[in-house]
Amino acid sequence: MTVAWPATARPTTAAPPLALEARGVSLAYRDRAALRDVDLSVAAGERLAVIGPNGAGKSSLLRCLTGLAAGAGGSVGRSGSVHLDGVPIEELDRASVARRIAVVPQQVDLPFAMRVEEVVALGRIPHEDPLRGLRERDRSAVGRAIGRVGIGHLVGRDAREISLGERQLVLLAMAIAEEAPILLLDEPTVHLDLRHQVETMELLRALNERNGVTILAVLHDLHLAAHFFPRLVVLDGGRVVADGPTETTLTAGLVRDVFGVDPAVVRLHLAAEG
């Protein structure tokens, strides 16, 4: 199933189909549990942030949702099920998953000198003709992604010589060039300055509202999560401890219990408890 990106394609039905659905997912690395019995439903066209302290299982959840931890290889054990558009994810081959879900990794290291636009172009691999490589429509998708993320000034630079924040934007552009209907992001703003944090959030909102892209972002910054995401999922100790509209989910008690800090340090309008 392909999504025509430039066109606006917001689902309008009363009960939009579930893009991603995790049921009773548990994940353990050797004997250390990373996720415990996690249920999560993401409807097509939704935009949600996953928050939680370090080690809460946020990245593990992303791995499960993309089917990466499925092959229970040696030290990783997984149970439960993940469905992508209603199909068990392990029944799909990697290529069709990649055409549906684009992932922005936190960081990557580059063993070889590689230009910014070459990194972005890697996002087209799921669509690439195996023999002929990038075609005109791939190139224009790369150009669009570079334009949307606003990294045109980095074109031609070695991706190893730019700053961490700039590289994070390059990885975002790579995932956007994939033009997949679902976008998963793993802490996309950690290395960004304030302006780029806001711009990235606004870009995600535009992708979601104008292009109908389903967005799930793991975030550390509660302010960004609260300002830009209508739904929050809170993970702690591998469990979903809260899941709902941001206004009612982000309470002072949650900040105290989950993050173990005085809610006063969070300069946010926190919802009343109870």
Partner 1 sequence: MATDSRAVARPAETLAAPVVRLGRLELLRRRPALLAAGAVVGLAVALVAGVALGSVAVPPDQTVAILLHRLLGLDLGVSWSAPAETIVVDLRLPRVLTAMVVGTGLAVAGATFQGLLRNPLADPYVLGTASGAALGAAIGVLVPLRWLVLEFGLVHGLAFAGALLAVFTVYRLSRTGSLGTLTGLLLTGYAVGSLLAAGLALVMYLSGQNLRQIFFFLLGGFDGASWLRLAAAAPIVLAGVLAIALRARVLNAFLLGEETALHLGVDAQRERAILLGLASLVTAAGVAVSGLVGFVGLVAPHVVRLLAGPNARAVLPVAALFGASFLAIADLVARLVGEVPVGVVTAVVGAPFFLYLLRRARTGYEL
Instruction: Rule CB under 8 A: choose which of 45, 52, 57, 126 binds partner 1.
Output: 126
Judged by CB under 8 A, which of 83, 157, 210, 239 binds partner 1?
A: 157
Contact predicate 16/45, CB 8 Å: yes
| Rounded distance between C-alpha atoms, residue 112 and residue 221, angstroms | 32
Separation between Cα atoms, residue 175 and residue 122, nearest integer Å: 9
State yes or no: residue 152 binds partner 1 (CB under 8 A): yes
Total residues interacting with partner 1, rule: CB under 8 A: 58
In the numeric block, which tokens belong to residue 2? 């392909």
CB atoms within 10 A of CB 248: 11
Q: If binding is defined by CB under 8 A, does position 210 make contact with partner 1? A: no
Nearer to partner 1, 144 or 239 (CB): 144
Could you say which residues in the range 127-146 bind partner 1, by CB under 8 A?
Answer: 128, 130-134, 136, 139-140, 142-144, 146
Determine the Cα–Cα distance for residues 205 and 7; give it in Å rounded to an integer: 16
8-state DSSP, 245: E
Q: Considering the complex, what minimum distance in angstroms separates the CB of residue 198 from partner 1? A: 17
Please select the residue that binds partner 1; options are 27, 89, 119, 222, rule is CB under 8 A.
119
**CA 31 – CA 75 distance, rounded (Å):** 8
In the bound state with partner 1, the residue whose beta carbon lies nearer, of 161 and 273, is 161
Of the pair 130, 260, the CB lying nearest partner 1 is at 130
| Interface with partner 1, residue 169, by CB under 8 A | no
Q: Are 20 and 65 in contact (CB under 8 A)?
A: yes
- Residue 32 or 223: the one with the smaller Cβ distance to partner 1 is 32
Distances (CA, A) of 177 to 20, 57, 172, 183: 21, 27, 9, 11
Residue for token digits 């430039």?
6
CB of 110 to partner 1, least distance (A): 7
Give 33 or 268: the residue with its C-beta nearer to partner 1: 33
**Residue 98 found at the interface with partner 1 (CB under 8 A):** yes
Is residue 90 involved in binding partner 1 (CB under 8 A)?
A: no
**CA–CA distance, 206 with 85 (Å, rounded to integer):** 23
Residues in Cβ contact with 157 at an 8 Å cutoff, skipping those fewer than 6 apart: 115, 116
> Can you tell me which of 3, 43, 122, 241 binds partner 1, judged by CB under 8 A?
122
- What is the nearest approach in angstroms of partner 1 to the Cβ of residue 107? 10
φ, ψ at 260 (rounded to 5°): 65, 30
Give Cβ neighbours of residue 4 (< 8 Å, ≥ 6 apart). Answer: none
Q: Does 188 bind partner 1 (CB under 8 A)?
A: no
Which of 20, 38, 44, 121 is the binder for partner 1 (CB under 8 A)? 121
Contacts with partner 1 by CB under 8 A lie at: 66, 68, 71, 73-75, 93-99, 101-103, 105, 108-115, 117-123, 125-126, 128, 130-134, 136, 139-140, 142-144, 146-147, 150, 152-153, 155-158, 160-161, 178
